[in-house]
Amino acid sequence: MCAGAHLPADDHSDLVLELRASYARLQRNQTHPGYTAVILKRHACELYELSPAALGAFWADVAWVGAAITDLFQPVKLDTLVMGHRCPHLHCHVFPRYEGDDPFAPIDVTEGAVRLTVTEQGDRVALIRDRMLNGA
Ligand SMILES: [Zn+2]
């Protein structure tokens, strides 16, 4: 993640925007429309490694992404997940939940296999970026 968070595209995601403390990346699995990861720019494994100011900047980035996704896709709720047991570089999954999602099922950010076409994915990246930069 250190090496690739800033790249325009990788096997799993596409860069939406460079933020103050992080990079926002739209995930290729769009089973949950708008699912985006917010990846800390510098390397850290745990939240407690960040200064209060850095922590505030990271969560402000997460909230900014979440607001844009909510405006655009109208989820019932955002799950805001900091995990990292598979990739110990601080990142947050902004994982929209929709009507019809089972609220009692275990959260699985890999569930489903909805993949947009390259054009559709690019359009969605642009849509989210535009909403973040220009508001509703
Ligand atoms: Zn790292």
Nearest-CA neighbor of 15 among 134, 111, 132?
A: 132
Question: How far does the centroid of ligand 1 lie from the alpha carbon of residue 81, in Å?
Answer: 17
**pTM: predicted TM-score of the whole model, two decimal places:** 0.95
User: With left for phi above 0 and alpha for psi between -120 and 50, is residue 90 left, alpha or beta?
Assistant: beta
Question: How far does the centroid of ligand 1 lie from the alpha carbon of residue 88, in Å?
Answer: 7
Residues with Cβ within 8 Å of 130's Cβ and at least 6 positions away in sequence, in order, are none
pLDDT at 15 over 80: yes
pLDDT at 136 over 70: no
10 close to 90: Cβ distance less than 8 angstroms: no
Question: How far does the centroid of ligand 1 lie from the alpha carbon of residue 66, in Å?
Answer: 23
pLDDT at 2 over 90: no
Question: How far does the centroid of ligand 1 lie from the alpha carbon of residue 1, in Å?
Answer: 5
Sign of the alpha-carbon dihedral angle for 115, 19, 40, 84:
negative
Question: How far does the centroid of ligand 1 lie from the alpha carbon of residue 85, in Å?
Answer: 13
Mean pLDDT, all residues of the chain: 96
